[in-house]
Structure 1
Amino acid sequence: MIADEILDRARETVARNLARTPLLPYHAAGLEVPVYLKYEGAQPTGSFKVRGGVAALTAYAAEGVPVVTASAGNHALGIAHASRLLGAKSTVVVPEGGSPAKIAALRTYPVELVLAPGGYDGAEAKALELAAGGRKFVSAYNDPHVIGGQSTLVGEVAETLGEDFTIVVPTGAGGLLAGTALGARRARPDVRVLGVESAACHAVSAAVAAGHVVTVPVGDTIADGLVGNLEPESITPAIVREAGVRLVDVDEAAIRRSVRELALTAGLVAEGSSAAALAALRAGLVPADRPVVLVVSGRNIAAGLLATILTEG
């Protein structure tokens, strides 16, 4: 579905522009097999999304195409950081009512920042309007170069461990999961990939089961990176289905407990989405027949929310 050439170029680009993130032994897991935390909070933007941003901007800059995206979260910061790193032109459209902290952070980057009314839908509509004028719209997940960038994470793990393992991946729209599935088949003979959704949203698993994208209900959760419906022509479910990836889900209480555990036991700041892999392990959803790698996908959690969670229980 995504050419090997794109995956190869992404690997070279990410290795050239981003330092490897740490793979930390997690002895507190209490399993007989080794457990590791792949900490993407160490990325310069605090999230794995910068991998896809760097890969996509490098590819489209080589084609001489300026890019535009819609996001007020980790994807926007990834595109913005890549723009500064590569000297590439990009436009980031964010909702007028978006996070003041994230908008302030985006203003520090050399991007054209556009504020659009109407929430995320309004921002996306504005970005697509700009794309119609000659720019390339770069989806946070439904873009082959973005997915190629995310595929580099599992390759780093494989090169460090040198043996087969199970990798547990937080799953929202499936960009990281699809990338991991594609990267896993190239990294080791037998890497098992497990996707973890929030119980608040089953967009990817529903699409995999149906064989096409379907609209699903979206509940409230602190794991905001794991909720939202998919673009109608999203390529991620087909990649996940073809790779035979198993999907599980975890509830809100489990996610909050895992944010707290990562902070107090591992000393890692993790946003709600990032804690889903550990939540799945604690729920007994991860086979323990080989080394396990839990992807901690980012650290961008509001200070007040983190303080509240730390005092729970």
Structure 2
Amino acid sequence: MRHVQKPTASDMDRARVAVRQHLATTPLLPISRYEWLKLDSQQPSGAFKVRGAIAALSRLPRGTNVVTASAGNHGIGVAWAADTLGHRATIVVPENASPRKLAVLEEMGASVIRHGTTFDEAEAHAVMLAESGLTYVSAYNDPHVIAGQATVLDELADRIEGNFTIFVPVGGGGLAAGMAIRADMIKDRAIRVIGVETESSLAVSTAMRAGKTVEIEIAPSLADGLAGNLEGGAITAEILRERGVEMISVSEKQIEAAIRTLYLRHDLRAEGAAAVSFAAMKAYPVDGDMVAIISGRNIDEKLLKDIVGKR
């Protein structure tokens, strides 16, 4: 089991500088008087994960060989950051990874290794490769990655006045953990973070209740980017539990409907892992301003057409 430290205030500050240096602020789209969509799907990698990758890789000497495991978007983020910062990236993906995401990885020049049938197996293989001298960058269990993801909240706080609630997709919990830490650091108003899982993969909420990581059964999901168990001793669930972050879940039917609505009504391409936040905001609204993080657009073209075509 790896022992990982939680992000410090210094980590958060350095991540903010690195992200601002390399990434533009993503759009914040109002869709009603109290509802907003934060379009991190408009990142150059197609997903928010590039924030954490930039934050983590910017701390490494140029030319470092990095390795990670990814269901897609974290790998794309690491590949993009490695290319931008002068590193070399190896990405381990499960055999069933999205063809669209694999194509993007290969276009970015990353070395891609297909291993195992699940994210858990791919992750274990990446950790093993790191023992041979590569630098492992976890998709979520890394203080610098978590600090990088927190920069989403900085951009929201610059745009929305007063108190607001954020619906955040949760797989490994890095985005929600980072935003929860940053929300606690903003003292002049109340910013509430609500984590949203797919019912098919409840690893983080299970760990929060148990007080430790617990291996659970993972079912197939449209939100494949959120599917998988947590690395043993992962710090994300502990961060969320300490800060009293509320966790909710949405069904496959709700995710499908959210993908369809985002495309047809708002002209937005969203993968299942991104659509969970919109589904939750619509199903479980709260008082005041609400933001759904649309975290990625890297959905398979055929899958999108099939979902949009259903009535």
Corresponding letter in the other structure for 1:47: A
1:149 and 1:278, CA in 2 relative to 1: closer, same or farther beyond 3 A?
same
- The CA deviation string for residues 88-142 of structure 1, in whole angstroms up to 9 with x for no partner, is 233223345644433332222243x142443345543442232112222111011
What is the aligned partner in structure 2 of residue 271 from structure 1? 271
Corresponding letter in the other structure for 1:292: M
Q: What does 1:34-49 correspond to in 2, within 5 Å?
A: 34-49=34-49
What is the aligned partner in structure 1 of residue 101 from structure 2? 102
Distance 1:118 1:225 in 2: 16
Q: Verify the 8 A CA contact 1:166 1:194 in the aligned structure 2.
A: yes
Give the superposition deviation at 1:275.
1.0
What is the aligned partner in structure 2 of residue 144 from structure 1? 143
Distance 2:132 2:310 in 1: 50
Distance 1:99 1:311 in 2: 20
SS of equivalent to 1:133: coil
What is the aligned partner in structure 1 of residue 131 from structure 2? 132
- The CA deviation string for residues 234-264 of structure 1, in whole angstroms up to 9 with x for no partner, is 0000100111110111111111111111111
Distance 2:134 2:144 in 1: 16
Q: Verify the 8 A CA contact 1:178 1:240 in the aligned structure 2.
A: yes
Q: Verify the 8 A CA contact 2:38 2:293 in the aligned structure 1.
A: yes
1:227 and 1:95, CA in 2 relative to 1: closer, same or farther beyond 3 A?
closer
Distance 2:239 2:156 in 1: 21
What is the aligned partner in structure 1 of residue 198 from structure 2? 198
1:225 and 1:290, CA in 2 relative to 1: closer, same or farther beyond 3 A?
same
What is the aligned partner in structure 1 of residue 300 from structure 2? 302
What is the aligned partner in structure 2 of residue 256 from structure 1? 256
1:157 and 1:90, CA in 2 relative to 1: closer, same or farther beyond 3 A?
same
Distance 1:122 1:171 in 2: 20
Distance 2:219 2:122 in 1: 21
Pick one of 18, 27, 30 that aligns with 2:23: 18
Distance 1:235 1:83 in 2: 25
1:128 and 1:10, CA in 2 relative to 1: closer, same or farther beyond 3 A?
same
Distance 1:70 1:105 in 2: 15
SS of equivalent to 2:281: helix
Gap runs ≥5 in structure 2: 1-5
What is the aligned partner in structure 2 of residue 69 from structure 1? 68
- The CA deviation string for residues 201-230 of structure 1, in whole angstroms up to 9 with x for no partner, is 211111111111112221221011222111
Gap runs ≥5 in structure 1: 28-32
Q: What does 1:171-250 correspond to in 2, within 5 Å?
A: 171-187=170-186, 189-250=189-250
What is the aligned partner in structure 1 of residue 157 from structure 2? 158
Superposition TM-score, scaled by structure 2 size: 0.92
What is the aligned partner in structure 2 of residue 3 from structure 1? 8
Q: Verify the 8 A CA contact 1:208 1:237 in the aligned structure 2.
A: yes
Distance 2:148 2:7 in 1: 12
Corresponding letter in the other structure for 1:189: R
Task: Give the alignment's Cα RMSD to 1 decimal.
Answer: 1.8
Distance 1:99 1:170 in 2: 18
